[in-house]
Amino acid sequence: MKEKRNTRETLAISLLVISLILITTGTSFAFFNYSRQGTTTNKIETGNLTFVYDESKSNGQGIQLTNAFPMSDTNGKTLTSETEGNVFDFEIRATTQGADINYEIYLTKEEASDLNEDVVKTYLTKVTNPGQGGESETAVIVEPSKDGVNLYSSLKKSQVPDLNGKEARTLYQGTVSKGETGYSESYRFRMWLDSGATGVNQNGEWEYSNKAFKVKVNVYAQNEKLPTPLDA
């Protein structure tokens, strides 16, 4: 009887050992790892991002004053390309995804300019329905002016990165918000001789005779915030 009980105890202990082995073996599968190098390229492509500065509506890359006569701001703000020619139309178009585009419109004076900056007036407007019925303009307020009209010499100095040492003057800084699919803004720039340019030289001649002032209208754009223009 005692021998049978020992046999049962031995069998029970053996079964317990087998169970422990199975439990231990089963637990070891929890540490199983699998790894395989992929063969297919997974990629993310950015959406469309375009920025266009279109000056096709104007001749050349800027405007110029040559042998111009002084005029009031009221007349200067209504100049047309047909009457005076001191008008420059251009357009900015953009499509963005994922990030804003910040842009600056700025002026660079040509080296051949010999007219004093203190007598040259500038004026930038946004044009609605350009060249169509119901065309209208809204002045772009450029510091320090309150009505958009400034002397060239009072415009702030541009700090855009690609000037290569040249001096430029800021006209406007704008932003195309991310997600824009058809941004379009039309601009019109005018330039005229200040009505106060009435001085005479030592010979009794009008001191601004046979003088010229030439500028190019430029646009710079980037995703990051634009540098703030400096005081003139």
Residues 24 and 83 placed together within one structural domain of the fold: no
Residue 30 in this model has a pLDDT that exceeds 50: no
Structurally, the chain folds into a number of domains equal to 2
Residues 24 and 55 placed together within one structural domain of the fold: no
- pLDDT class for 29, splitting at 50, 70, 90? very low
Residue 210 in this model has a pLDDT that exceeds 60: yes
For residue 98, what pLDDT is reported? 80
User: For the chain, what is the HEC assignment?
Assistant: CHHHHHHHHHHHHHHHHHHHHHHHHHHHHHHCCCCCCCCCCCCCCCCCCEEEEECCCCCCCEEEEECCCCECHHHHCCCCCCCCCCEEEEEEEEECCCCCEEEEEEEEECCCCCCCHHHEEEEEEEEECCCCCCCEEEECCCCCCCCCEEEHHHCCECCCHHHCCCCEEEEEEEEECCCCCCEEEEEEEEEEEECCCCCECCCCCECCCCCEEEEEEEEEEECCCCCCCECC
Least confident of 16-25, 127-136, 190-199, 210-219: 16-25
Q: Is 43 among the domain residues?
A: no
Residues 77 and 122 placed together within one structural domain of the fold: yes
Overall average pLDDT of the 146-152 stretch: 94
Residues 151 and 184 placed together within one structural domain of the fold: yes
Residues 174 and 91 placed together within one structural domain of the fold: yes
Q: Is 106 among the domain residues?
A: yes
Over the stretch 177-188, which tens digit does the pLDDT of each residue have? 998 888 999 999
Q: Is 38 among the domain residues?
A: no
For residue 2, what pLDDT is reported? 47
Host domain of residue 16 = 2-31
Residues 69 and 182 placed together within one structural domain of the fold: yes
The two tokens of residue 155 are 């415009």
Residues 25 and 54 placed together within one structural domain of the fold: no
Tell me what the pLDDT averaged over the chain comes to. Answer: 80
Q: Is 230 among the domain residues?
A: no
Q: Is 40 among the domain residues?
A: no
For residue 133, what pLDDT is reported? 81
- pLDDT class for 24, splitting at 50, 70, 90? very low
- pLDDT class for 202, splitting at 50, 70, 90? confident
Residues 134 and 25 placed together within one structural domain of the fold: no
Residues 26 and 76 placed together within one structural domain of the fold: no
Q: Is 23 among the domain residues?
A: yes
Residues 167 and 125 placed together within one structural domain of the fold: yes
Residues 173 and 216 placed together within one structural domain of the fold: yes
Strand partners, 95: 50
Least confident of 17-26, 96-105, 151-160, 178-187: 17-26
Residues 63 and 130 placed together within one structural domain of the fold: yes
- pLDDT class for 16, splitting at 50, 70, 90? very low
For residue 99, what pLDDT is reported? 83
